[in-house]
Structure formats: structure tokens, C-alpha cells
Amino acid sequence: MSNPTGISADKIPRHIAIIMDGNGRWARERGLPRIEGHRRGSEAVRACAAACIEAGVSHLTLYAFSKENWQRPPDEVKALMNLLDRFLAERTAEIMERNVRLRAIGHLDDLPENTRRRLDTAMEKSAGNTAMTLTLALSYSARAEITDAARTIAREVRDGSLDPDAVTEETITSRLYTAALPDPDLLIRTSGEMRVSNFLLWQISYAEIVVTPKLWPQFGRDDLFAAIREYAGRHRRYGGI
């Protein structure tokens, strides 16, 4: 068994979703500005993505910026957008080298124009990559996503291309931003908070949840592997016995 997690390949989650929380607390505990926590948080993003590839995870989805996060002080919002810019500028080469496909979900039109352009370029460039899909949730809200899907379905019914009696769970799934992704098997949240915070509400219906007290900037390869081992030890029942 060569998997570095010590877990056999068939027990590795196909899709891990992460609520990266605790950047601000990490900084405060050290007497640093909040943005330094976010900067360290973006380094943790890189380490975590690399560890997922190592473990053979095929989809990683990260909650990088919520629709609600626009309400933070303008300086912090600006700093987070700059970090995203820098991440794209500095990491696209590594994304290509590691054969990672970059995607994004959320209201991407809300992003500053230059950030959006960089994102589009990185997504187009990496569209054919196959080792892992890294999806960034940006200006994302699960309720907005479900509302958008409902609006799409309503239009299709109005236009006569969809019969209301033919609407199934699959009809909704296929109209979410995540239509091309499998549902997350494992949802990780850092910093000990027991909340799902409007993240992938439809898609996590049967996900196993692991909450770690570690703050996001402290979350590393060993923590990811520990979460995978915890997941592998769970018995998924999907409502059965």
C-alpha cells in the first residue's frame, strides 16, 4: 500500500470540501493584523492542495470567499482579493505542472475585473488537466446557488422546454454551479466551529463532517491525512442501516 495516508485507495474520499476558518484568530493570537492570517491561509491552501494530490483525492473544493464576506471592512476585502490575485499569478505555473484543473463557483461577476480576468485565464489554461480538480468558491452562497437553479428551472418551464412533472433531484443537481462535480464525500471545517455557513447545502447531504480545532493557517498535510483516516473509519449509511 503506497498511499501516504496509510488508507487503501478505495477508501480515499473522491471529493473533499473545506470551510477554511480561523485566519483572523490565528493572527490575533500572535498580535498580527488579520490580513497576515489570510496570507498564511493562502499558503495553507497550497500545502493542502498538494497533500490532496498526494493522497489521490480527485476533487478539492475550498470556501475562499462567501457572498456574505463582502460585508467585511473594505480593507480586508481588498486584501483578500489581492491575495487571490497573487495566488493566481504565482501558482498558475504550479497548477499546470501538477496537472490540476482550476474551477470556480459562485457569483464570479462580483469579483474585481482584473481578478476575474486572471481567474478566467487560469481556468481556461488548466481546463484539460486531469490529476485533480481544484474548485474555489468565490462570492459563493449555497442559498443563492439553489435560488439561481430554481430560476433557471422556472424559465425552462415557462419556455416549454421542461415539464414540471419531470422535475427530479437530478434536474436540480444539474443546474447547480457544481453540475460537473461529484458530491463531496468529506466536509472539513477548521477552527472548531460547528456550522456549515451556507456552503454547498444541497451537495453535502450525505457528506461525512470532520471539524478540527486547528486554525486554517495551521492546517497542514498531517491534519489532512488525519481527516481522511477519520473519514475512512466511518460507516456511511446514506439513511440505511
Of 46 and 229, which has the nearer Cβ to ligand FPP?
Answer: 46
Helix residue ranges, H only, 9-73: 23-29, 34-55
Instruction: Confirm if 138 and 111 have CB atoms less than 8 A apart.
Output: yes
Q: Is 58 in the site for ligand FPP (CB under 6 A)?
A: no
Strand order in the sheet with 132-140: 100-105, 132-140, 59-66, 15-19, 186-189, 208-211
Query: What is the per-residue binding string for ligand FPP in 134-163, x denoting contact by CB under 6 A?
Result: --x---------------------------
Q: How far is CA 237 from the centre of its chain?
A: 24
Decide if 69 is catalytic.
Answer: yes
83 binds ligand FPP (CB under 6 A): yes
Query: Is residue 69 close enough to count as binding ligand FPP by CB under 6 A?
Result: yes
Closest to 145 measured CA to CA, from 92, 96, 108, 194: 108
Question: Per rule CB under 6 A, is residue 35 in the interface with ligand FPP?
Answer: no
Q: Say which residues have a Cβ less than 8 Å from residue 204's Cβ, sequence separation at least 6.
A: 17, 183, 184, 187, 196
25 binds ligand FPP (CB under 6 A): yes
Distance of CA 8 to CAs 3, 4, 176, 214, 233, Å? Answer: 7, 10, 31, 26, 11
209 has which bridge partners?
187
Question: Which is closer to ligand FPP, CB of 69 or CB of 173?
Answer: 69
Per CB under 6 A, contacts with ligand FPP among 88-127 are none
Among 3, 69, 82, 198, the one annotated catalytic: 69
Which range of residues in 41-49, 117-125, 218-226, 227-235 is near ligand FPP by CB under 6 A?
41-49
Instruction: Name the residues annotated as catalytic.
Output: 21, 69
Q: Which residues bind ligand FPP (CB under 6 A)?
A: 20-25, 38, 41-42, 45, 62, 64-65, 69, 83-84, 87, 136, 216
